[in-house]
């Protein structure tokens, strides 16, 4: 009787260990599915650039000229121009300038180990 209880307990513990390992493996797969690809980085750069221009058109519309101004992705998200939740794990900003009412913008992003060229410059 004790011998049989020991065998049942052994298989019960083995099943628990296998279930725990399975859930750990699933969690790693879910975490790795959020990896940002090059295509996503390009899309984020485009979205930042467009949002920066829209921001300048609205908030600096009365200015004919504007020196280089840094607008973060958080600020663009706050005003509803950028959906940062689409790019989890990434952050960025856009440099906007205005010369004779011509608006130009340059996006910079950082995703994990990736950084845009000259990201740390500003």
In terms of domains, do 100 and 52 share one?
yes
User: Could you give the CA distance from residue 28 to residue 20 in angstroms, rounded to a whole number?
Assistant: 13
14 and 49 share a domain?
no
Question: pLDDT tier at 23 (50, 70, 90 boundaries)?
Answer: confident
What's the rounded Cα separation, in Å, for the pair 47 and 87? 11
25 with 85, same domain?
no
Nearest to 54 by CA among 106, 99, 103: 103
**Which residues constitute the domain of residue 60?**
38-121
Domain count, the chain: 2
> Are residue 27 and residue 54 in the same domain, yes or no?
no
Render 107-118 in DSSP notation, one character per residue: EEEEETTEE-TT
Same domain flag for 90 and 110: yes
**44-98 pLDDT tens trace:** 999 999 999 999 999 888 888 888 999 999 999 999 999 877 887 789 999 999 9
Burial of 45 (0-12, 13-18, 19+ CB in 10 A): middle
Helices (H) and strands (E) in the chain, counts: 3, 4
What is the pLDDT at residue 33?
46
């Amino acid at each position: 009787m004790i011998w049989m209880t020991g065998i049942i307990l052994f298989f019960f513990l083995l099943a628990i260990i296998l279930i725990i390992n399975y859930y750990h493996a699933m969690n790693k797969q879910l975490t790795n599915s959020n990896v940002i690809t090059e295509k996503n980085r390009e899309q984020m750069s485009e979205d930042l650039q467009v949002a920066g221009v829209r921001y300048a058109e609205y908030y600096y519309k009365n200015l004919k000229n504007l020196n280089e101004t840094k607008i973060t992705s958080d600020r663009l998200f706050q005003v509803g121009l950028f959906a940062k939740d689409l790019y989890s794990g990434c952050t960025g900003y856009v440099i906007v300038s205005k010369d004779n009412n011509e608006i130009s913008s340059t996006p910079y992003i950082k995703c994990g180990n990736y950084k845009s060229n000259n990201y740390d410059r500003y």
